[in-house]
């Protein structure tokens, strides 16, 4: 494994998606690791549509490091409603940005993948070497495959051009400032909002999609950002790397925990006619630990409490 540390001082760094939920944490962690905030550029999608090559070329011009977090992403609902958009948008943003960065002589490219790229029936915990051993869970597949294509591109550009691009696979993220829009949010913010609104209305029942049996693993956004910056500084290998906690929880236990923390006393009603999504998700996190020393630090209950408190404060 490579172990020289990339000095972030005086580096010009582009963080796509840097104004988002994870992006803000990444910018903060970059600053803590020595980067100059004045030299970090965060393009906004309304001014810089990365699906257009010219915008990608402008964005990477004179940058030393590109951290590509921007994605068109959501939960099961959005995946079912807009599979074509999710495939096209993520593929075009990523593949053009990588090509533009290579052409512009960018020193390092850090690409965030998705665990939706893993096969539907991957042995648990998911090891990076299993990434190609089957087709992803159907609802996630267009998004997952578009993101997985970027791993192939980075490995090909490394092989042919010596381009230093790395690929990280974060597990489901959560934390303050997450997307709580019910049409496109992931499971934790969706459930927190659902419980909060049920409490506001005085409901005695809480309908939840699926049967509660799937398991998920969750990584606090600040932990994820720290892992991304550690990899940016010290990881330069072609192999993809999982970022997670290595701990899984069933959706049933998750909603019970959220109800306990939010003091919701009603009954949970499982909507078994709605999809469960992938049966189990839990990552093998050994490679991140061995390659650049990353281990998650924020406990799940602690992270949930912080997230719930943030949402309550900003719900209006």
Mean pLDDT of the chain: 94
Question: Binding residue per annotation — 132?
Answer: no
- Catalytic annotation, pick one of 102, 143, 167, 174: 143
Question: Binding residue per annotation — 172?
Answer: yes
Predicted local distance difference test score (pLDDT) of residue 2: 47
Q: What are 17-39's pLDDT values in tens digits?
A: 999 999 999 999 999 999 999 99
Confidence of residue 1 (pLDDT cuts 50, 70, 90): very low
The proportion of the chain whose per-residue pLDDT surpasses 70, expressed as a percent, equals 99
Q: Indicate whether 209 pLDDT > 60.
A: yes
- pLDDT, average across residues 121-128: 94
Give dist(CA 231, CA 209) in Å, integer. 36
Active site residue 235: no
Query: Of the ranges 45-49, 61-65, 91-95, 194-198, which one carries the lowest mean pLDDT score?
Result: 45-49
Residues 243, 168 contacting (CB under 8 angstroms): yes
Exposed e or buried b for every residue in 130-161, given b needs 16+ CB within 10 A?
ebeeeebbebbbbbbbbbbbbbebbbebbeee
Question: Binding residue per annotation — 120?
Answer: no
Give the domains, in start order, of the chain with CATH numbers.
13-174+217-247+282-298 (3.40.50.720)
């Amino acid at each position: 494994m490579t172990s020289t540390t990339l000095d972030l001082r005086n580096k010009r760094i582009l963080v796509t998606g840097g104004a988002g939920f994870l992006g803000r944490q990444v910018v903060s962690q970059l600053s803590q690791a020595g980067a100059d905030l004045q030299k970090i550029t965060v393009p906004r999608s309304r001014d810089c549509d990365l699906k257009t090559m010219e915008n990608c070329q402008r964005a990477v011009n004179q940058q030393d490091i590109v951290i590509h977090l921007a994605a068109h992403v959501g939960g099961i609902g959005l995946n079912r409603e807009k599979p074509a958009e999710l495939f096209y948008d993520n593929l075009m943003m990523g593949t053009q940005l990588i090509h533009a960065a290579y052409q512009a002589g960018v020193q390092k490219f850090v690409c965030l993948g998705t665990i939706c790229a893993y096969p539907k029936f991957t042995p648990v915990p998911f090891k990076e070497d299993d990434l190609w051993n089957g087709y992803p869970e159907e609802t996630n597949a267009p998004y997952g495959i578009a993101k997985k294509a970027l791993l192939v591109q980075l490995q090909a550009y490394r092989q042919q051009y010596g381009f230093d691009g790395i690929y990280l696979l974060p597990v489901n993220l959560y934390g303050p400032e997450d997307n709580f829009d019910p049409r496109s949010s992931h499971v934790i913010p969706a459930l927190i909002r659902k419980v909060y609104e049920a409490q506001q209305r005085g409901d005695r029942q809480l309908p939840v999609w699926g049967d509660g049996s799937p398991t998920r693993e969750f990584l606090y956004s600040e932990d994820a950002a720290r892992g991304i910056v550690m990899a940016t500084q010290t990881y330069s290998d072609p192999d993809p790397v999982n970022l997670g906690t290595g701990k899984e929880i069933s959706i049933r236990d998750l909603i019970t925990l959220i109800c306990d923390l939010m003091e919701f006393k009603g009954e949970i009603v499982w909507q078994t006619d709605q999809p469960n999504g992938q049966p189990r998700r839990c990552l093998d996190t050994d490679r991140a630990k061995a390659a650049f020393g990353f281990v998650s630090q924020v406990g799940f209950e602690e992270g949930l409490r912080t997230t719930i408190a943030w949402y309550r404060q900003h719900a209006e």
